[in-house]
Structures are given as structure tokens and as C-alpha cells.
Structure 1
């Protein structure tokens, strides 16, 4: 039991060294932070829902946000250039790996991007799915008018919100 308590300060010192503090971060520290931010951003976007961005997958939106934020630090000199470039490279490689692995695992793609949600079927809106997607009937009707050029629900077979946040409409034959 004493060994565990002796190890705790060493572990905390190691983590503090790995994570760094202040503006003087080395390449490894900034890279660790970048990977952590990538994963946290993915979780936050998945939690915030599809309507947050509407176009592109959460994975694609994360890379845009993170690269913009991190690269700006190199541009304004807020962080050393090499750690910024290394961090961005690691984020891009992580994005490429996640994108590649999505094609290999349906469970992984479900976790990363979710599934489409049926919003309308058989002449009625599916209330619990509308609430889950954080949509109001008028949001769907707006997309119906824009995409199908109608507001007549009698001509509609099904309506989905896709993984990207876009609304898809299937018209009756």
C-alpha cells in the first residue's frame, strides 16, 4: 500500500511533464494536447447533435476547427512553430486513420457519426425521433419546401436526418 502512495507523486510529476504548462510547451506536450483536444472535440460534437454544423461529418468538422485554431497560434506567434506543425500533422494523421477505419468497421462508424434518423413515415411525424434530432416540424417543412419544392406531405414516403445533419426526403412513386 505504501508503494502506491509513493508512486502517485511520481505519476503526477510525469503527467505534468507530459502535459506541460504555460506558453513554453515542447513538441511532445503540444502533440499530447492536440490529440486530447481532437478526441474531446469529437465527443462534444457528437453530444451537441447534428444540427450544430449540418454539413459534413463530425470528424470532418473537427479537423477544420482544430487546424484553424492551432495553425493560428503559429501565425500569430502564440506558440512555437515546430510544435504547432507537429500537432497539426498528428491531428491530420489521426483524422486519416479514423476516416480509413470507418470503412473497416460499421460499429466504429456508428460511434463516430451515428445513424440516420427517420423523422416522417406513413403520413406522420415520428415525435420521439424529432425530439432526439432536436428538430421542430417547421425545420423539416422548410427542408421539404427547399428540396422537394412542395409542402404537401401526402406526396412524401419518408424523411430522414442523415449522419451529416442534412435532411433527405423520399417521395412516393
Structure 2
């Protein structure tokens, strides 16, 4: 599976990045979201945090990926700035240095934003919490809602099949 997103040095995260990666990082406990019954709704689910484990895996994966890309740039920021300032640098060398400077800046900003998302994980509302709220089940149980476990509903105690 492949996706393209835009990283910016001066803006927010690409809005398609996190939902896509939440989907990619779905594992065991959250896998029910991939059932055919939810097929039409899965993009709605992944637009918001799925579970704490999923969110953590997704953010750690992205941070590691972008840190790896940063390490792969092949020159340091100071080396690129030297190329830009050096009058003997060719036009192409200067343009390539500017591209690397821009890439480095966008990657650093993205890593910073993802690290902020990591810090906010405890304050996020995850799928199960949202679902409980939508069903009005995120509240204490009222006494009138408690069913006596000793009462048998819909069964005759002396039914032949129970003997």
C-alpha cells in the first residue's frame, strides 16, 4: 500500500497522513474495524484516534520513518549552508543544497508535530470511548438498570430441555 503526502516546514501535518497510518497500523484488538460490516465506515473511524496502542504505534512508526529520512539526506545543514554561501558553488549545487535544507526543515517540523501528538495521547478520545458516548453508555449505571442475576428471563425453570 502506498500513499503520498506533503510535509511542510511551516504548516500543519498533511490531513491524510494520520488516518492512512492509523489504518496501516491496525493490529489485533482493533482489527474488528476491518470487518466487512465496517468497510464503508473504516475511513470515518481512522480519521480520529482508534486506540491508544494504535495511536502509539502509528506515531512511533512515523517518527522513526522521518528520522530515518533525515539521516539519509547525506549532508549536514552546515555543509549545505557552506555550499550556498560559497561563491564557487555551481547553480545546481546551490539549488540542491536549498532542496536539502527545505527537506530537512520539513522533516524536523513534522517530527516535532508528531512528538507533540505523542505527548497528547492521554487526552485523546479513542474509538471505544466515542462509541460508548454515542450509545449513551459512558455514564454510571442507574440502579433501575441493574437486572437481578437470579431472575431467569424467558425460560421456564422446569422446561424439559433443561433437565
TM-score calculated relative to the size of structure 1:
0.31
Greater helix share, structure number: 1
Higher RCO (CA-CA < 8 Å; seq separation 6+): 2
Greater strand share, structure number: 1
TM-score calculated relative to the size of structure 2:
0.33
| Structure label with greater radius of gyration | 2
